[in-house]
Amino acid sequence: MTYLIEGETGAWEVVVGLEVHAQVRSRAKLFSGAATEFGADPNTQVSLVDAAMPGMLPVLNGFCVEQAVKTGLGLNAEINLHSVFERKNYFYADLPQGYQISQFQHPIVGGGIVTLDMADGQSREIGIERLHMEQDAGKSMHDQDPGLSFIDLNRAGVCLMEIVSMPDIRSPEEAGEFVRKLRSILRYLGTCDGNMEQGSMRADVNVSVRKPGEDYRTRTETKNVNSIKFIMQVVEIEAMRQVEVWEQGGEVVQETRLFDVARNETRPMRSKEFAHDYRYFPDPDLLPLKLSQAFVDDIRATLPELPDQKKVRFMTAYGLSSYDAGVLVQEQDTARYFEEVAVGRDGKQAANWVTSNLFGALNRLGLTISDSPVSAGNLGKLLDLQSADVISGRIAKEVFELMLETGDDPVRIVEAKGLKQITDSGAIEAAVDAAILANPEQAQQIRDGNDKAIGWFVGQVMQATGGKANPGSVNQMLRAKLSAN
């Protein structure tokens, strides 16, 4: 589905490229041994290197390199066996060295591809231009003292991956889905925890608009957007703003902008905040990073099954629709849960239970799948009870609600509450006979050939048995008794 903005001069297409900064999951920083844990007291995770004391030198953390290569492989990207760390020079109080060590001309990862499954069933391929490693800066705090700014260097030197997409994104939904998919891949790989609320992932959003078929027009870059919702909002409002500028005869200026959440608008940063000549040059304290093909191959061999592969397998192994499979593989915990329920059972039924009943209930209770009161094992048992005709579908839903409340084994619940389906045909026959006797008029209608009333009769019998009779058997028996004439 094409997303177009209807302006006064016709339709406008939105062109979006994202630069996602993802914090690498690692115990130590990119060039120092200091810890990276979130939420520590200010300036308690700062080494001499991070504080840029005189004479200190960076030493590359090999684990961060593995994580970057792993991520590159997960993005189906080219791994560059030769990459170079460069210095990006600028002054700021939370940048102790006066430069950020980053990769510029020679990033560790080159072109790749991320495939998006859109809600309308379409899939979209978004190109990855590059991935490079860089140091994070510290944090400036301007609200601690009326006259002073405070600096927390805990983050300074933490390894970030900057993942740059091609300008292939065409709508707010695609932008959101791209980040969701990227986060899913990073979490599967274990290379980034993807916790946007803790700042582990944030994006610079590049937006331009154009008339369909035109070349690209000038873009703006909105910095540091830190949730999927906000990213989608930025695409939308920035595109609208640009359409308005163009249509009023103005000119969109290439600039860096900020997103003001409270006012739901983007506005230009003061030019001083970004007008840097970064004077990039190769960091003479670090040798070029040379990887062997064997190193890359070893990492490739450790890659887990990724969302796309898992999705295909779920579709073929469990007969799921593309959409259901896509939903189930997004989070590893969900996929694992589903698979535990589905294995050896009807996959579609398992998917229905997980995506509608379970997700619905968890949503209602505000729980994630990892703290679901209904374990995958118990949900599987419930499905078994239903497919073995021990309980009906209706009773199964009832049992499920009890499982949510108590976390109990469904077999025990069914036993304890006497919810087993009545399989004794004598008992069913008695109930059917009683129903016919009590409702002679309706019985006569059926005998006269009005089949519709059968359903009503089944309902009567089910009610009389507390839902425990097998509706199929009841139906059969009613037909046998009432079609005799």
Partner 1 sequence: MPELADLTISEARQRLDRGDLTAVELTRSCLAAMTAKQDLNAFITETPDIALARAGESDERRVRGKTLGAMDGIPVAIKDLYCTEGVLTTAGSHILDGFVPTYESTVTANLRAAGSVMLGKTNLDEFAMGSANVTSYYGPVKSPWKISDGKDRVPGGSSGGSAAAVAAGLCLGATGTDTGGSIRQPASFSGIVGMKPTYGRCSRWGIVAFASSLDQPGPMTRTVADAAIMLQAMAGHDPKDSTSAPIGLPDFAAALTNDVRGMKIGIPREYVIDGMPGEIEALWRKGAEMFRDAGAEMIDISLPHTRFALPAYYIVAPAEASSNLARYDGVRYGLRVPGETLDEMYARTRAEGFGEEVRRRIMIGAYVLSAGYYDAYYVQAQKVRTRIAEDFTAAFSKVDAILTPTAPSAAFAIGEKMDDPLAMYLNDVFTVPSSMAGLPGISVPAGLSAEGLPLGLQLISRPFDEETLFRAAGVLERQAQFTARPAGPGE
| Contact residues: partner 1, CB under 8 A | 48, 51-60, 87, 89, 91-93, 96-99, 149, 151, 277, 279-281, 284-287
Which C-beta is closer to partner 1: that of 287 or that of 430? 287
Question: Smallest distance from the beta carbon of 279 to partner 1, in angstroms?
Answer: 4
Which C-beta is closer to partner 1: that of 118 or that of 286? 286
Question: Smallest distance from the beta carbon of 52 to partner 1, in angstroms?
Answer: 4
Question: Smallest distance from the beta carbon of 84 to partner 1, in angstroms?
Answer: 12
Residue among 217, 166, 130 at smallest CA distance from 18: 166
- Find tokens 């969109």 and name the residue: 252
**190 close to 41: Cβ distance less than 8 angstroms:** no
Which C-beta is closer to partner 1: that of 94 or that of 409? 94
How far is it, in rounded angstroms, from Cα 455 to Cα 445? 13
Rg of the chain's alpha carbons, rounded to an integer? 30
277: number of Cβ within 10 Å: 7
Question: Smallest distance from the beta carbon of 272 to partner 1, in angstroms?
Answer: 8
Question: Smallest distance from the beta carbon of 365 to partner 1, in angstroms?
Answer: 49
Tell me the helices (H) and strands (E) count for the chain, helix number first.
16, 16
Pairing of strands 256-260, 220-225: parallel
How far is it, in rounded angstroms, from Cα 60 to Cα 156? 15
Which C-beta is closer to partner 1: that of 57 or that of 434? 57
Residue among 132, 81, 131 at smallest CA distance from 103: 132
**Reading across the β-sheet that carries 281-282, which strands appear in turn?**
99-103, 85-89, 281-282
How far is it, in rounded angstroms, from Cα 188 to Cα 182? 10
With a CB cutoff of 8 Å and minimum separation 6, the contacts of 72 are: 78, 79, 108, 109, 112, 131
Question: Smallest distance from the beta carbon of 281 to partner 1, in angstroms?
Answer: 5
How far is it, in rounded angstroms, from Cα 162 to Cα 201? 10
Question: Smallest distance from the beta carbon of 284 to partner 1, in angstroms?
Answer: 4
